[in-house]
Structure 1
Amino acid sequence: MRPTWQERQGGQRRGIAHDGAMESLNSAAARTFRDEVRTFLDEKLTPELRRGARRGTSVFLHPDIAVPWQKILHAQGWAAPDWPVEHGGTGWNEIQRYIWAEEYARAHAPSLSPMGLKMVAPVIMHYGTSEQKAELLPRILSGDDYWCQGYSEPGSGSDLASLKLRAVRDGDDYVLNGSKIWTTHAHFANRMFCLVRTSTEGRPQTGISFVLLEMNTPGITVAPITTLAGEHEFNQVFFDDARVPVSGRLGAENDGWTVAKHLLTFERGGRYAPGLASHLALVREAAEATGWLDHDSNRERLAREAIAIDALRAIELAVLEGRGPADSVRPSMLKVLGTEASQRIDLLALDVAAGWDGPLDEAPDAIVTAMPKYLNNRASSIYAGSNEIQRDLIARVVVD
């Protein structure tokens, strides 16, 4: 008889209590570390930084908020807890990193742009030359470089392998022609990591290369895209005979698809529960101010989301112990659960906001941001591979 999927992942199926992780989180050492983190955040987070974070409508806060905060963290040595120590990481263990995520979210600290620290940096560490690592990683860590991602194109979104931005080799340069779209914060970024078409032979995936480029390169133009929320977060980026040094390529020519897949494991994975709990806390605060919680059905809706977050936290703690889902499934599963929980909380916030009849400048933060967050987060179940695709990837592992 074929073994079950659960048996192939490590034996008898387990529940989600995971007392071992809870004991670690509540150990004397963990409590001491939590106190240290909490004290630091209390001392360093100014009212302006907290307000900017609480009123953010996306993970991508304005650089005027995110970058100064990153420099404060960098001075403390805490800007990149997930990085290896040799590149400037903290050396914290998994429990400490989870405590950091929980306290960070609870304090409403500003989110840092993930494009540099969490996405391209791990890829540079894995595929970069010694020169690329020495030049780029310190500048990512300090916040001196601000990155954007050049993946999607008009007509090439979920089917990313169909991308057409051409990169023709000319001596020591690639000459780029085409465009990218939905490029978050390209109008702020000074660098981009970009997928380009270096060959049209064979399968589409085999003709893609991964290049790093500077946004002030002649021939690159950034055009704004205003969202339904009235915000300028996205852009279309045009390349007209833009010359990019071949030395900026990561990995081998025509092997960029492999590099991109490595990066996506960092874009999809993560710790969702702490941020969701912080988001729900702001909604609860607003609900109390409007009387929304006076209705039993509304209290039940809020409670259901709190329970869903607790369940997600239990899965994340199981991962810390090595008892969670398989590596091949984990990023997809957490991405689906985390993004869909966020969207449900956004709907709660809209309902709460409908009950506010006072001046907007006196409204709780969750009411001010309710509609922009809702509109912005509709895309979260699409980007980094739609949730339908993630479920398909999970199913392939489960039935294999």
Structure 2
Amino acid sequence: MDPERLQRLLGGPELVRLRQKLSRKLLREGGGRLSLSRVSDAERAAVERLIGRSPRQGRSLSVDLETLSHALLRAGVAENLRVALEALDGPLIDERARREEERRRWAELMVDYRGRADTLGLGGWLEALQAGGLLKRLARGSEPRGRALLEAALGVLERLPVQGMSLSALAAECLGDAHGLDTGRPVAALVRRALARHWRGGVARVDPDERSIWAHAGVLVGGDITSAVLTLRLPVRPGRGLDSALSCYCHEAEPTWLTLRQLLRHPPAWNGAGRDVFVCENPAVVAEAAERLGGDSAPLIATWGRPGAAVLTLLEQLQAAGAVLHYHGDFDWAGISMANALLERFAMHPWRMGSGDLKRYADLDGKPLAGRSLEAGWDPGLRAVLEERGRAVHEEQLIDLLLEDLRVG
């Protein structure tokens, strides 16, 4: 090897393209003839000098790599062409082969964990991680780190659900770090993705907040006393302290606030099997039902706009208890969006939310519609009727009708 001569013969920035073409040909085909178009004077001169060919004219060039390799050996410059190219530019790496090997290793990783994910009903989550590349990004391209992150995330998911355990306690138990599931941590990102979209049906929101995601698995973020749900006459079996209190509120027909903390730490013994439970968007409906119907009102819940963690947790509990859920919301695009999410997530029936219902409200005034129009998943004809009307119908305008449905006495 003669590094100085090699540098003079084949080195330098003016021959970078030539060296790259030679390297790719070696890596992909192992040799053969390389044809170059639009060659520079420096490239032509370098090849002709190496193989001892007389100067020629033209903008194309063809050279046999084996001939070039023998010429380097005879001249005592390098053992062969590959040795020469690696001495000038470092080890030759087939990027295409490297990427294929990397894809193979990541695919194998997913296969290794498929059984555990399927046991949890999370095969779709694993497929989404692979298709979207989230795990690879969080691992910064390192397959061993990706394996460690997936192992940790599955360990957390296998511990769920819990009953009102704090997020920090869960992280300390599963990861040995009380902050291991904080926002911004890679394991937390993986677990949240599973809970939000795949674990036990996911969260009934297009873009669920942190509290709702963790509450879906019984985990409390902070004290969780600020997330609450307004209820009226929800049936509960008296027994433990909270259940007895709720039973009294039900008997007295007084609206009741339930915090997420109460729902997760002390899940009520809901007596809901086969019972109709109505869900509305506006708390004014609850207030009027309590005032005008009292003990003659059916069980009622208000989401108070887009449902938060406490609302979603309560609906999950009532559905598990066998309650028959009915939903009514505003006739506007935001209301359609909320209804779509809830009816997709829960076995819930639309309550006076059809296109025929909206047509009967033609004489009612309303605010002009705002936002992007949406298809109603439960009634394909509703979108066109609402677009033609051009104005919203809010629950406050329909309270008398809704109370007729709620009257059970």
TM-score category by the smaller chain? under 0.3
Q: Which structure is richer in relative contact order (CA contacts within 8 A, separation 6 or more)?
A: 1
Structure having the larger proportion of residues in strand:
1
TM-score (norm. length: structure 2) = 0.22
- Relative to the length of structure 1, the TM-score reads 0.22
